[in-house]
A and B are shown apart, each in its own frame.
Chain A
Amino acid sequence: MRRGSKVADRRQGGSVLKGQNRIRLLGICFSTAFAVIALQVGQLTLRHHQAFANPEIAQHEPRQPRPDIVDRNGRILATDISVSSLFSDPRKVIDVDEAVELLTANLPDLDAKTLRQKMRQPGRAFVWLKRQVGPDERDAIYNLGIPGVGFVEERKRIYPQGRLAAHTVGYVDVDTKGIAGIEKYLDDQGAIYTASLSQPESNTSAPAQLSIDLGVEQVLTDEVSKAVEKFHALSGGGIIMDVETGEIIALASLPDYNPNTEDKRLTSDQQNKLTSGVYELGSVIKAVTFAMAFDYGTANFKSTYDTRQPLQIGKFRIHDFHAEHKVQSVEEVFTNSSNIGTAKMALQVGLDNHMEFLKRVGLLDRLITEVPESAKPLLPHNWSKLASATAAFGHGFAVQPLQGLSVIADLINGGMAVPPTFMKRSKEEAQALAHRIVKPETSEKMRYLFRRNVEIGTGGKADVLGYRVGGKTGTAEKVIHGHYSKDKSLASFIGAFPMDHPKYAILVMLDEPKAIPETHGFATAGWNAVPTASKIIERVAPLLGIEPKFSEDDLAKLAKQNKILKREG
């Protein structure tokens, strides 16, 4: 029995041992499994957590906002704001009368009758009640808790400066896509530039900075609009440009428009005439001819030109507006604005050289800037002796006014062609883009002529004591039905200041100015565009940081003025 039980015991003991082994095996399996899981969890949380964090953000990348547009000093020209629009779901409105009463109490400009009609359309699920509600009114309506009434957030592009610089900034359509001016540039060729402004980590965009200075822009717009009114001109325009960097500091084309209005069916008058229009600039182009003659060495300050007889080319005769009937020096040809003298200078240079020079300064090609509205120049069909002679004094070919100003700026800044820009640009960037078009000595001579023309010539009324203004006037007869009109003209002035070392170039243009009693019956540029430029320079020179300097003559003039003032009390 005992022995038998022992055997049984041993048999039992063996099975217990077997069971314990199984449990142990199972334990090992489980603990390995747990250890693997624990390790994996530890690794995922400690080591690879970044790998999981990044795709999370990439999954819902929000749309990059449209960059703001600011002026050179950071003042806002265009920005996006979020606006709420009020809508209603008529199916969910419980008490229409109560809802209408509450809404009209908070939004007085809503009409109760139409509102009731809109909200009593049981078949519809969505009706706009009011677009673009202000934030305070929105909060008030939220707090009313009217069922079936809600808001949708919308983006809206606004232009806080209104009409100022409207032609440069342009505008967007309802889907905030740029369709004019810099706004269009941001969407089109400037897309890379726009992308460079975006800052993905903060989901914002740096503003696009223009070269425009709002203070200067205001003065220019104000004075040009006063001049348009005073001289009963059809339209007017003005540009101020930095001659060293090519930056356009201000550009005003009148009549203008308010970019904030919904309805932008602009008349052709309201277009940016300074870049999208071409004009025969007339005598201001004479400066180009003079620079050409100096640069080719066919004329110098000792040269003289016989202007006693009209210049006969084939059937045509070239006359002088201010006929002097004498042999004039180069300086006199410029200050008296002699057509005959200038035409003779161009003919001396020769047809091919004249063409080559116009090409070199860029008057034969379309001027392209950031603002997309740009017009191609109108050139004579065949480049004959007559075409060359008339082109010498700015007739027979038409360019953008901005193009004319840019060329004159290049001729007096030392002879370097700098492409004009509406974007802020540093001196270094401008130097990298510049290339020489005329010799520095030629530029020096042009500066002298421009200053002289204001001191004694047709630009006399442009002078502002202390700011050394120089410039050239132009009164171009307009082409009406294929003929030059005798009484309709385009008056312009292109100048620069301070002339001893030009910093800024200015253009003032008036389309069909009329003679008024104050101008003694004259409607030439010297009587309208020039005094306007003078007023503009007087106001903008302090804004642009031009230090006044007075010559002996200036001081004498000042003393005389003071005496008159004292005598008058």
Chain B
Amino acid sequence: MFKVFNAILVCSVLAAAFVLYSLEHSTRGLERSIAKTEKQIINEQERIKLLNAEWASLTKPDRIQKIAGEQLHLQNLKAQQFIQLTDIDSRVPISPPIKLEAQAADAIGDMLEKLQ
């Protein structure tokens, strides 16, 4: 009676020890992956910040103005060029003035290529 009971106890201790060990092992693994992911998140956040800063400096208005001035040759918007939404029908040409397909060329694409 006692022998059987003791045997069961020993087995359950072994089983419990195994479960405990494997749990601890997987917990350590998870902790490692959490630490790794957290580091990745921080790295990504830093990268996002860097890219945001780069984007801000690439889209800064004085740079855009310079490029637009060199490439687009547009004039300042005049007050009289604004129209009411209801008048828009009379202002839109029936056929587009520049037919991109007919030109068989991508004007904006060419411009961008020239920039680089």
Residues of A within 8 A of B (CB): 75-77, 79-82, 135, 158, 160-164, 214-215, 217-218, 221-222, 464-467, 538-539, 541-542, 547-548, 550, 558
Cα distance A362–B79 in the bound complex, in angstroms? 36
Interface residues of B in 32-79 (CB under 8 A from A): 46-47, 49-50, 52-54, 56-57, 59-62, 65, 76-79
> Residue B61 contacts which of A164, A465, A547 (CB distance < 8 angstroms)?
A164
Is B60 a contact of A547 with CB atoms below 8 Å? Answer: no
Cα distance A214–B65 in the bound complex, in angstroms? 12
Cα distance A81–B43 in the bound complex, in angstroms? 11
> Residue A76 contacts which of B52, B80, B82 (CB distance < 8 angstroms)?
B52
Minimum CB distance partner of B58 in chain A: A160
If A218-B61, A218-B62, A218-B65 touch, whether A538 touches B53 (CB-CB below 8 Å) is: no
| Residues of chain B with a CB closer than 8 A to A80's CB | 49
| Residues of chain A with a CB closer than 8 A to B80's CB | 465-466, 548, 550, 558
If A218-B65, A467-B79 touch, whether A81 touches B46 (CB-CB below 8 Å) is: yes
Is A465 a contact of B50 with CB atoms below 8 Å? Answer: no
Cα distance A266–B77 in the bound complex, in angstroms? 37
| Residues of chain B with a CB closer than 8 A to A77's CB | 56
Query: Shortest distance in angstroms between A41's beta carbon and chain B's nearest beta carbon?
Result: 12
> Residue B50 contacts which of A81, A538, A548 (CB distance < 8 angstroms)?
A81
Please report whether the interface of chain A is mostly helix, strand, loop or mixed according to DSSP.
mixed
Give 8 pairs: A residue, B residue, CB < 8 Å, sorted on A: A81-B46, A81-B53, A82-B49, A160-B60, A217-B61, A218-B61, A466-B82, A538-B79
Is A162 a contact of B79 with CB atoms below 8 Å? Answer: no
| Residues of chain A with a CB closer than 8 A to B49's CB | 79-82
Query: Shortest distance in angstroms between B9's beta carbon and chain A's nearest beta carbon?
Result: 12
Cα distance A82–B77 in the bound complex, in angstroms? 41
Query: Shortest distance in angstroms between B92's beta carbon and chain A's nearest beta carbon?
Result: 20
If A160-B53, A161-B56, A164-B62 touch, whether A82 touches B79 (CB-CB below 8 Å) is: no
Is B61 a contact of A82 with CB atoms below 8 Å? Answer: no
Is B62 a contact of A538 with CB atoms below 8 Å? Answer: no
Cα distance A539–B75 in the bound complex, in angstroms? 10
| Residues of chain A with a CB closer than 8 A to B47's CB | 135
Cα distance A464–B53 in the bound complex, in angstroms? 36
Is A547 a contact of B82 with CB atoms below 8 Å? Answer: yes
> Residue A538 contacts which of B46, B60, B61, B78 (CB distance < 8 angstroms)?
B78
Is A135 a contact of B50 with CB atoms below 8 Å? Answer: yes
Cα distance A158–B80 in the bound complex, in angstroms? 41
Is B60 a contact of A161 with CB atoms below 8 Å? Answer: yes
Is B56 a contact of A542 with CB atoms below 8 Å? Answer: no
Query: Shortest distance in angstroms between B43's beta carbon and chain A's nearest beta carbon?
Result: 9
Query: Shortest distance in angstroms between A208's beta carbon and chain B's nearest beta carbon?
Result: 15
Which of B49, B52, B56 counts the most chain A CB atoms within 10 A?
A: B56
If A79-B49, A79-B52 touch, whether A162 touches B60 (CB-CB below 8 Å) is: yes
If A79-B52, A547-B82 touch, whether A162 touches B57 (CB-CB below 8 Å) is: yes
Query: Shortest distance in angstroms between B3's beta carbon and chain A's nearest beta carbon?
Result: 16
Minimum CB distance partner of B46 in chain A: A82
Is A465 a contact of B79 with CB atoms below 8 Å? Answer: yes
Cα distance A394–B56 in the bound complex, in angstroms? 42
Cα distance A218–B68 in the bound complex, in angstroms? 14
If A79-B53, A80-B49 touch, whether A222 touches B76 (CB-CB below 8 Å) is: no
If A79-B53, A81-B50, A161-B56 touch, whether A539 touches B76 (CB-CB below 8 Å) is: yes
Cα distance A236–B50 in the bound complex, in angstroms? 34
| Residues of chain A with a CB closer than 8 A to B78's CB | 465-466, 538
Cα distance A160–B65 in the bound complex, in angstroms? 16
Cα distance A163–B57 in the bound complex, in angstroms? 11
Minimum CB distance partner of B54 in chain A: A160
Query: Shortest distance in angstroms between B64's beta carbon and chain A's nearest beta carbon?
Result: 8
Query: Shortest distance in angstroms between A559's beta carbon and chain B's nearest beta carbon?
Result: 11
Cα distance A547–B61 in the bound complex, in angstroms? 23
> Residue B62 contacts which of A79, A222, A539, A558 (CB distance < 8 angstroms)?
A222
Cα distance A77–B56 in the bound complex, in angstroms? 8
Cα distance A75–B53 in the bound complex, in angstroms? 9
Cα distance A546–B105 in the bound complex, in angstroms? 38
Annotate B77-112 by CB proximity to A: 1 below 8 A, 0 otherwise. Answer: 111101000000000000000000000000000000
| Residues of chain A with a CB closer than 8 A to B52's CB | 76, 79
| Residues of chain B with a CB closer than 8 A to A160's CB | 53-54, 56-57, 60
Q: A79-B56, A135-B50, A538-B78 are in contact. List 8 more A-B contacts (CB 8 A).
A: A75-B56, A77-B56, A79-B53, A82-B49, A161-B57, A164-B60, A214-B61, A466-B79
| Residues of chain B with a CB closer than 8 A to A465's CB | 78-80
Minimum CB distance partner of A539 in chain B: B76
Is A76 a contact of B76 with CB atoms below 8 Å? Answer: no
Minimum CB distance partner of B62 in chain A: A218
Give me the 7 closest cross-chain CB pairs, A-B, nearest first. A466-B79, A218-B61, A548-B79, A160-B56, A160-B57, A76-B56, A160-B53
Minimum CB distance partner of B61 in chain A: A218
